[in-house]
A and B are shown apart, each in its own frame.
Chain A
C-alpha cells in the first residue's frame, strides 16, 4: 500500500514525538505530593482526549452513513470506534494506576471515570453490533454510535450530582511551566498518532470494500465456476 505524502509526514511526526516525549517526561520537574506516579498524567490525559475525540468522529461518520448512505461515513465510524476502544482502554488502565497511589484505591464512581467506562462499553457494543448484527449490522451500529454520543452529557449530568474527586480540567492551564513541554508534546503526539491510525484503518476498510466488489464482479462473470468470461 502506497502512503500519501500527508500521511507520511504525520506518521514521521508521530514517531518523532513518541521518541522525544519520554525524554521530556523524565526531564520534567517531579511533582512534590504525587512523586514519580504523576508522570502517568502525560500519558493518561492525551489518551482520554483522543478517546473522546474519536467517539465524536465516530458519531459524525455514523450520521453521514445513516442519513446520507455514505459508505465513507461507515468506514470512518467503524475505524474511529475501534480507536475509541483502544484509547479508552489506555485511559482506563492508566487512571486506576494513578488512583491507587493518589486515592488509595483503584476505582471510584466519579463522573469522569464513570463516563469514560460507559463510553468505552458503548463502543465495545458498537463493535459487537457491527460484527455480529447480521445484514443490518452496520446500520444498527451507526444508530448505537448516535445514541451513545447523545448519552454522554446525560451520563455526565447524572453522575456529577455527587462530589467529584477527579482532578479538574483546570489543572492543564495552571500546569507548572517546567511540565508544559512534556505535556503538550505528548498531547500533540497522541492526537497525530490518532489521525495516522485512523487514516491507515480507513484505507484498510476501503481496500477491503474494493476487494469485495472485485470478488462479486468476478463471481458475476463466472470466473469461479469455469464459465467463459
Chain B
C-alpha cells in the first residue's frame, strides 16, 4: 500500500468516527462561539473595537478552540486504546503524523470558518470583502498550529497532567502563527499597507514548512515513547 493511501485511510477513519459521534465538531464550534461571546461581553458598553482588535480576537479564538479540539481528539484515541493499536500497526510512523495532521486541519477549518463568521457578526469586521486573503491566512495558520499541537498532543502519552501541559507547551510555540495571522488579517481589513498581508502569508508558509518538517523528523522518537 502506498504512503498516500495509508494517509487517506487514516483521515477517512477519523472522518467516519467524527461523523458517527459528532462530538468534536459540535463541541469545538460551540466553544468558539462561547469564546467570541466572552470577548464581545468584555467590550460591551464601550466603543466598537477597532479592526486590529477584531483580528486579534479571531486568532486567539482559533488558538483556544484548536487546543481544546486537538487535545480531545487524542484523548478519544486513548480512551478506546486505538492510539496504541495504530502505533502497533505496520504503517509508517510519519504517515500516522500526516494523517492526524490532515484530519485535524479539516476539523479546525470548520471551526475557524465559524469563528470568522462570528467575528464578522459581533465585531463588524468586513471579512467578506477580503474572503480569499483571509481564507488563505487562516488555512496557513491552521496548518502551522496543527503541526505543533498534534505532535505534542500525541507525545503527551500517559501523562496524567496532559490537559494542563498541552496549552503550556503549545501556546509559547505558536506565538509566531498568532502574530502573523493577526497582523496579516489586520493588514487586509484596514488596507493600510498592501504589501503587509502578502509578507505574513509568506511568513506563515515558511513557518508551516519548517514545523511540518520538524514534526516528521521528531514524530518517531517522540511517539515511540508512547505506550
Binding site for B on A (CB under 8 A): 66-67, 118, 121-122, 125, 128-129, 132-137, 139-140, 143-144, 146-148, 150-151, 154-155, 157-159, 161
Contact = CB atoms under 8 A, between A and B. Distances in A.
User: Which secondary structure dominates where chain B touches chain A?
Assistant: helix
Nearest to A153: B210
A125 B148 CA distance: 14
A136 B158 contact: yes
Contact of A139 (B155, B162, B169, B214): B155
Contacts of B227: 135
Interface of B: 148, 151-152, 155-162, 164-165, 168-169, 172-173, 175-176, 179-180, 183, 199, 203, 206-207, 210-211, 214, 218, 221-222, 225-227
Contacts of B152: 140, 143-144
B165 A155 contact: no
Contacts of B183: 161
A143 B160 CA distance: 19
Given A146-B218, A151-B173, A136 B155 contact: yes
A134 B227 CA distance: 11
Given A136-B159, A139-B221, A157-B203, 5 more contacts: A134-B158, A147-B173, A150-B214, A151-B173, A154-B206
Contacts of B211: 147, 150
A81 B180 CA distance: 27
Contact of B176 (A125, A143, A155): A155
A159 B210 CA distance: 18
Cβ-closest 5 pairs across A and B: A134-B159, A136-B225, A121-B172, A136-B157, A139-B225
B161 A122 contact: no
A125 B172 contact: yes
Nearest to B159: A134
A134 B155 contact: no
Nearest to B157: A136
A118 B157 contact: no
A137 B159 contact: yes
28 contacts: A66-B221, A66-B222, A67-B221, A118-B175, A128-B168, A129-B168, A129-B169, A132-B159, A132-B161, A132-B164, A134-B158, A134-B160, A134-B162, A136-B155, A136-B159, A136-B225, A139-B221, A139-B222, A140-B157, A140-B169, A143-B152, A143-B222, A144-B152, A144-B173, A150-B210, A151-B176, A157-B203, A158-B203
Contacts of B159: 132-137, 140
A155 B156 CA distance: 25
A202 B158 CA distance: 27
Contact of B179 (A129, A146, A159): A159
Contacts of B169: 125, 128-129, 140, 144
A30 B180 CA distance: 42
A118 B172 contact: yes
B181 to A, nearest CB: 10
Nearest to B180: A158
